């Protein structure tokens, strides 16, 4: 691809180096070490806190020494998702870039532009002698994607600045000034096994090829959830046949809509052809329902000649599990009455699996109204208890309430208008951002979030609009120049 914007080329070159370093959530050790080493080699002071957050100090440009310190913030980790046929090993393999027209994506994996592109942009800026700016603090946090661990553990005195630019939004020309709070719930249900009746065989039912996506950004698009599709199919099979669940697995991350799921079931041998036909019929039904959002949806039933030592659950537990998976809420629960088009409250039925004789389910609730977040969490917990399961919900993270009178917002709007001759759009989002937590820890912090245009984060279809990187760069440089 011919990239004309010089800084875009530099950002992508550095982003490719970052993308060669393993950085799945909760495994940021190597990227943290890389950042500290990079700072040292370039004569910049840097430090790491007790959980692994990294702070790099960039001196002010001449004439800006007395300007207020600006924090440029992003997170080190990425959601590690891949297609079912990808051999990629996130623990060692570099992310492979693929250019498609105006877009950059990865080869059958998440790209990690969420949020590696923020790291690359901040690092290029730190070494750019042509850019003038106040003192900068580059704050790179850990484990944003699976619980905002780094932001939650951040000590208020780790940073000095009270102006924060979060480069983790996903539409160029949009300023984000608020976000949802969130909380995860972990459900656990002991299961009981028994021997398979005489003449029973094991079949694997698969639900796959779904679009998936970000459980905050894409939750309003009515995309198929593979776990729910699978549970629905299995419930239909049990209505017509003596089917007993042996194993089930689906979903990988609390903030990703599940794309693939499978279950092993025991059924009478002479029922397999009928089950196979029923699953094929359900595939057509689901493909019709989700034809707009999930054109790649696939369902299948495959006879397993080797049971791999598996035994079926008893009939009661099989039914209890499917009832719970169907009863748990998923999708939009309420739309905002304050901001048109904004999802206020939602739930993501994120993952399911059986391990150590226990069914384990993770759900992820979001809301910009904390009382509604509590109410939806209680609903999830109640459904779990009715099934005889234990449910434990985390503390979660707070919503970031919009401040439309923010001086930083006014400055950003003025700079954007002057630079591009049009108005930027101001919004709150249903996804979670670290701004709410950081602002809660640092009194008086004025914050805004922006970033290049990114589509389908948290899925192998993630892609970034290359031209938008240069536009965000130009805006950020001009904004910093104006903060003298």
Q: Which of 81, 114, 137, 144 is catalytic?
A: 144
Nearest to 233 by CA among 255, 223, 248, 217: 248
CA–CA gap between residue 330 and residue 179 (Å, rounded):
20
Burial of 384 (0-12, 13-18, 19+ CB in 10 A): buried
96 phi, psi to nearest 5 deg: -100, 125
Contacts of 207 (CB under 8 A, 6+ apart): 226, 227, 229, 230, 233, 250, 260, 261, 262, 297, 298, 299
| 37 flagged as catalytic | no
User: What angle (nearest 5°) sits at the alpha carbon of residue 439, between those of residues 54 and 216?
Assistant: 85
Degrees (nearest 5) of the Cα angle 359, 456, 184? 35
How open is the CA angle 458-117-128, to the nearest 5 degrees?
Answer: 175
CB 303 within 8 A of CB 201: yes
Give the β-pairing of 136-141 and 70-75. parallel
317 belongs to the catalytic site: no
Annotated catalytic residue within 28, 77, 114, 171: 77
Q: Enumerate the active-site residues.
A: 77, 144
């Amino acid at each position: 691809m011919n990239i004309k914007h010089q800084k875009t080329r530099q950002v992508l070159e550095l982003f490719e180096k970052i993308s060669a370093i393993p950085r799945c959530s909760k495994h940021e050790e190597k990227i943290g070490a890389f950042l500290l080493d990079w700072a040292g080699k370039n004569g910049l002071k840097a430090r790491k806190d007790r959980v692994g957050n990294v702070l790099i100090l960039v001196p002010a440009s001449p004439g800006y020494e007395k300007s207020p310190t600006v924090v440029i913030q992003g997170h080190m980790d990425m959601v590690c998702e891949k297609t079912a046929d990808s051999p990629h090993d996130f623990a060692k393999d570099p992310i492979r870039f693929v250019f498609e027209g105006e877009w950059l994506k990865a080869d059958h994996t998440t790209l990690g532009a969420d949020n590696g592109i923020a790291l690359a942009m901040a690092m290029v800026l730190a070494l750019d002698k042509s850019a003038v700016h106040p003192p900068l603090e580059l704050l790179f946090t850990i484990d944003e994607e699976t619980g905002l661990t780094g932001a939650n553990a951040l000590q208020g005195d780790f940073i000095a600045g009270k102006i924060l630019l979060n480069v983790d939004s996903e539409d160029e020309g949009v300023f984000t000034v608020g976000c949802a709070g969130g909380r995860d719930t972990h459900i656990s249900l002991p299961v009981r096994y028994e021997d398979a009746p005489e003449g029973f065989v094991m079949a694997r039912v698969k639900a796959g090829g779904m679009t998936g996506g970000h459980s905050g950004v894409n939750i309003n698009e009515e995309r198929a959830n593979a776990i729910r599709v699978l549970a629905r199919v299995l419930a239909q099979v049990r209505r017509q046949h003596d089917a007993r669940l042996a194993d089930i697995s689906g979903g990988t991350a609390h903030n990703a809509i599940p794309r693939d799921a499978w279950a092993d079931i025991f059924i009478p041998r002479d029922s397999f052809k009928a089950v196979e036909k029923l699953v094929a019929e359900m595939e057509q039904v689901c493909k019709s329902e989700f034809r707009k959002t999930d054109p790649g949806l696939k369902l299948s039933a495959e006879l397993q000649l080797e049971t791999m030592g598996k035994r079926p659950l008893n009939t009661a537990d099989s039914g209890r599990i499917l009832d719970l998976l169907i009863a748990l809420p998923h999708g939009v629960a309420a739309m905002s009455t304050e901001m048109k088009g904004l999802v206020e409250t939602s739930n993501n039925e994120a993952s399911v699996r059986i391990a150590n004789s226990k069914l384990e389910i993770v759900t992820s609730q979001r809301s910009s109204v904390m009382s509604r977040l509590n109410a939806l969490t209680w609903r999830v917990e109640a459904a779990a208890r009715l099934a005889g399961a234990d449910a434990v919900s985390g503390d979660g993270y707070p919503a970031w309430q919009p401040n439309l009178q923010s001086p930083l917002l006014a400055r950003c709007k003025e700079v954007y208008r002057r630079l591009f001759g049009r108005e930027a759009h101001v919004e709150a989002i249903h996804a979670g951002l670290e701004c709410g937590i950081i602002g809660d820890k640092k009194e008086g912090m004025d914050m805004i979030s922006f970033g290049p245009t990114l589509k389908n984060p948290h899925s192998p279809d993630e892609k970034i609009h290359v031209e938008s990187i240069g536009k965000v760069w130009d805006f950020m440089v001009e904004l910093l120049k104006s903060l003298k």
